[in-house]
Structure 1
Amino acid sequence: MRSISVTMFMSLDGVVQGLGRPDEDTRNGFTHGGWGPRYNDEVMARELGKGMAKRGDMLFGRRTWEDFTGAWAHATDGNPFTAHMNAATKYVVSRGLDNADAWENSILLRGEAVDTVATLKAQDGADLSINGSAALVRSLHAAGLIDAYTLLIHPLTLGEGARLFDGPAPLTRFELTDSVTTTKGVVIARYERR
């Protein structure tokens, strides 16, 4: 059985929407896009690099996969993260995509997220990681399919926007296994399901 781990960038008040750039995700009138990059530093790069060093496959919701495809699929910048993203097997969960041909090594999982991911998780294979894809994470968390979280908690509040746990989440206990604070005040906390 595979494990599923989530890496999520979030504000202090739990907002996970529009981290990277102003136009990334403006749903519901969100105007604070691009709040994250000013907090990047060498500590964050090193900690995220630890995740890249582990063998594994990636799991995406449709919106995040499409956004990442635009950013990474044709990049030739020599960045090790780019090479990692392009080489990894990427599963995209969607009811609406026709195919996943736009990004190499992508496999389309059609149907209901919880069902298709539960089937994938039960198979032999590399562990699965999710970066972003908050709606997918919420549904998988509610179904008890998430095994670990790495939360990058940024020292700002946004007051509005989609939150990691928007709505009720079932009682699930996690144990803090590691934490690091960056030079810019981001707390990187790693939790594993108990």
Structure 2
Amino acid sequence: MRSISVTMNLTLDGVVQGPGRPDEDTRGGFPHGGWGARYQDDVLGQEMARGMNQAGDMLFGRRTWEDFIGAWSGRQDGNPFTAHLDAATKYVASTTLENADAWQNSILLPGDATQTVARLKAEPGADLSIVGSAALVGSLHAAGLVDRYTLLIHPLTLGTGARLFDGSAPLTEFRLTRSVATTKGVLIAYYERA
């Protein structure tokens, strides 16, 4: 059986929308895109590289997968994240995509994500990691499918925007296995299902 790990940037008030770029996710008129960029430092980079160095496959929701194609697919800048993302097997949970041919090594999981991901998780194979994809994470969490979280908690509040758990999240206990503070005040907290 595979495990599912989630890595998510969020603010103190739980906002996960658009941390990377101003145009990343403007749904609902969200005006704060790119809020996470000013908190990048070597510590955060090293922690993210540590996660990327672990073998495994990736799992995406449609919107995040399409955004990552534009941001990461085939870049020629020598960034180690680019090589990792291009080489990884990428599963895309979607009810609207007809295929996942737009990015190498991508496999479409059509239909209800909780059902298709539960079947994938039950199969033998590499562990699965999710970066972003908040709507998918919320559904998988509610279905009891998330095993670990790496939360990058940024020291700001935004007051508006999509939150990690916009809907109801069932009672689920996790234990802190490790934490790292960056030089810019981001707390990277590693949680595992208790």
- Answer yes or no: same fold by TM over 0.5: yes
Q: Aligned partners of 1:54 and 1:129: how far apart in 2?
A: 10
SS in 1 for 2:13: coil
Superposed counterparts of 1:42-191, under 5 Å: 42-191=42-191
Paired residue for 1:8? 8
Paired residue for 1:19? 19
Identity of aligned residues (%): 74
SS in 1 for 2:34: coil
Q: Aligned partners of 1:108 and 1:53: how far apart in 2?
A: 24
Question: What is the TM-score of this pair, normalised by structure 2?
Answer: 0.99
Q: Aligned partners of 1:150 and 1:24: how far apart in 2?
A: 21
Which 4+ stretches in 1 moved above 3 angstroms? none
Kindly tell me the number of residue pairs found equivalent between the two proteins. 194
Paired residue for 1:35? 35
What's the offset of the Cα at 1:190? 0.2
User: Over aligned residue pairs, what C-alpha RMSD do you find?
Assistant: 0.5
Unaligned runs of 5+ in 1: none
| Letter matched to residue 120 of structure 1 | L
What's the offset of the Cα at 1:53? 1.1
What's the offset of the Cα at 1:76? 1.0
Unaligned runs of 5+ in 2: none
Q: Aligned partners of 2:74 and 2:147: how far apart in 1?
A: 31
What's the offset of the Cα at 1:191? 0.2
What's the offset of the Cα at 1:99? 0.9
What's the offset of the Cα at 1:74? 2.2
Q: Aligned partners of 1:56 and 1:124: how far apart in 2?
A: 12
SS in 2 for 1:188: strand
Question: What is the TM-score of this pair, normalised by structure 1?
Answer: 0.99
What's the offset of the Cα at 1:173? 0.3
